[in-house]
Amino acid sequence: MDASFWHAKWERGEIGFHNSEANPALIRCYDHLGLEQGQRVFLPLCGKTLDIAWLLDKGLRVVGAELSEKAIQGLFHELGVEPAIRQVGSLLLYQAEALDIFVGDIFDLSADVLGAVDAIYDRAALVALPPALRQQYTVHLRTITATARQLVICYEYDQAQRNGPPFSVASEEVHQHYDDYYRLSLLETQDVAGVMKNRLTAHETVWALQPLV
């Protein structure tokens, strides 16, 4: 799975993963991020999620990273905001008040370019990546955010029935990636229907990750 896969998804409008409202799990579990007004939250592989508008309404500063420029053009259009756009190395930076979105390969995003963040909300990044990339991603995420606390949403289902994305990321794998650096708390586990195209039922798991130091 490479960049062309996701660009093609957005070009064809195959964005069943894009919800028409803020994620209910975020609304229920938001307090576990421990954020105050004016603090900065990072959304990796954010797409044009309405969670961004919801977080902005909380008085937060939001920074995202997304591969598809088409998705980010859609995001700013739906927000009704005209962005300032500039090149930052190999990335494009779309900016508006309290909102920074880096467009390009997240692995090209450095800590210096990203800037300080107070928390990470990972709704769609870990589950979007195949197994070969997830270890690289979790290491990179910790590196560029100084191991900021996280709220992570995963799905568990039988991939023999249909493969991702979103991929099944079992609880054991979440622990493998993060146990050495975070204290993990499983906040919720519930059945969710329609995660996959064939309406396969999955278990949604919501995790709070607090840095060990």
pLDDT at 5: 54
Q: How confident is the model at residue 192 (pLDDT cuts 50, 70, 90)?
A: confident
pLDDT at 9: 47
For the stretch 92-116, pLDDT in tens is 999 999 999 999 999 999 999 999 9
Helix (H) or strand (E) holding 11: helix 3-12
pTM for this predicted structure: 0.90
Binding-site members for S-adenosyl-L-methionine are 10, 45, 66, 123
pLDDT at 199: 65
Going by C-alpha positions, the residue among 157, 126, 121 that lies closest to residue 139 is 126
Phi-psi region of 54 (alpha: psi -120 to 50; beta: other; left: phi over 0): alpha
| Mean pLDDT value across residues 193-209 | 79
Q: Where are the domains of the chain?
A: 3-13+20-211
For the stretch 32-72, pLDDT in tens is 999 999 999 999 999 999 999 999 999 999 999 999 999 99
Sign, Cα dihedral of 170, 211, 22, 7: negative
Q: What is the CATH number of domain 3-13+20-211?
A: 3.40.50.150
Q: Where are the beta strands (DSSP E) in the chain?
A: 40-44, 61-66, 84-88, 91-96, 99-103, 119-122, 149-156, 182-192, 202-211
Binding-site members are 10, 45, 66, 123
